[in-house]
């Protein structure tokens, strides 16, 4: 596609459930980033992939959060045993190289845990 | 839609005036800096970037200044327009390639 695509755009889930958020980066982009943005706050770094591997996962808040990128393109952010505090907009971005180039953002997935 | 900027510092300017938005960073090893604009309910949009081997870069109506000595970055918008109203973030590139957001500023342009 022409840009970074995130699906679903909105997700409502019950507390304790498992959710998966998907990110389709721009074709050929090797770097992929996940961020979480709470209402009225700046985006918080979660994890960064370079190809298939997680180059930096220091932002994942706890072991309920996990992300994969098995073929170096699409990435899935997985959240187990969701909590109300996980409610936020989850943003994905991709860029063409490991550093020093513009990152393109998707529109985000708004996750609401009820 | 999502409302961005409820708890962020706000800069109010009159239409036609120049705006200056600032960003401080802490890691002296940072080597790449980007300014993004985020409108309510949307993902961040690229405005301009600068590498650590430069101290100034100009685009259309925008200028980014980098002061590595004090680890400070600024975005200057000339002749600010109502369409410039948004939240502005700096994004700091680390040596590992990760990109970390700095604190944002909400720009409000009064017509």
DSSP string, A19-47: EEEEEE--TT--EEEEEEE-TTS--EEEE
Task: Give the tens place of pLDDT for each residue, B53-64.
Answer: 999 999 999 999
Q: When comparing pLDDT for B4 and B32, which is higher?
A: B32
pLDDT of B51 over the 90 cut: yes
pLDDT of A60 over the 80 cut: yes
Task: Give the tens place of pLDDT for each residue, A16-52.
Answer: 999 999 999 999 999 999 999 998 888 999 999 999 9
Q: Which of A7-11, A107-111, B83-87, B94-98 has the lowest mean pLDDT?
A: B94-98
What mean pLDDT comes out for the span B83-111? 90
Residues in A closer than 8 angstroms to B33, CB to CB, are none
Angle made by CA atoms B39, B34, B45, in degrees to the nearest 5: 25
The helix or strand, by DSSP H or E, that contains position B63, with its residue range, turns out to be strand B62-67
Would you call B44 and A39 a contact, using CB atoms and an 8 Å cutoff?
no
Q: How far apart are CA A52 and CA A32, in angstroms?
A: 10
Would you call A40 and B5 a contact, using CB atoms and an 8 Å cutoff?
yes
Interface of A with B in 27-46 (CB under 8 A): 31, 33, 35, 37, 39-45
By residue count, chain A amounts to 114
Q: How far apart are CA A42 and CA A112, in angstroms?
A: 18
CB A102 within 8 A of CB A33: no
Tokens 């009820």 belong to A114
Task: Give the tens place of pLDDT for each residue, A65-109.
Answer: 999 999 999 999 999 999 999 999 999 999 987 667 889 999 999
Q: How far apart are CA B22 and CA B66, in angstroms?
A: 10
- Give the model's pLDDT for residue A50: 93
- Give the model's pLDDT for residue B89: 95
């Amino acid at each position: 596609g022409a840009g970074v695509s995130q699906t679903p755009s909105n997700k409502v889930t019950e507390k304790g459930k498992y959710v998966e958020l998907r990110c389709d980066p721009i074709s050929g982009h090797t770097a992929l980033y996940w961020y979480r943005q709470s209402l009225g706050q700046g985006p918080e770094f979660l994890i960064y992939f370079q190809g298939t591997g997680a180059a930096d996962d220091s932002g994942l808040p706890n072991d309920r959060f996990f992300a994969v990128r098995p073929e170096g393109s699409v990435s899935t952010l997985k959240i187990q045993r969701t909590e109300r505090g996980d409610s936020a907009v989850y943003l994905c971005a991709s860029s063409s190289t490991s550093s020093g180039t513009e990152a393109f953002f998707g529109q985000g997935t708004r996750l609401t845990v009820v | 839609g999502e409302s961005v900027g409820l708890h962020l510092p706000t800069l109010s300017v009159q239409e036609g005036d120049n705006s200056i938005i600032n960003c401080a960073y802490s890691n002296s090893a940072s080597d790449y800096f980007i300014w993004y604009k985020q409108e309510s309910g949307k993902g961040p949009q690229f405005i301009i970037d600068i590498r650590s081997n430069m101290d100034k870069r100009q685009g259309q109506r925008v200028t980014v200044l980098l002061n590595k000595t004090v680890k400070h970055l600024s975005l200057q918008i000339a002749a600010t327009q109502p369409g410039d109203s948004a939240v502005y973030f700096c994004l700091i590139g680390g040596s590992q390639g990760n990109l970390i957001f700095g604190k944002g500023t909400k720009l409000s342009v009064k017509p």
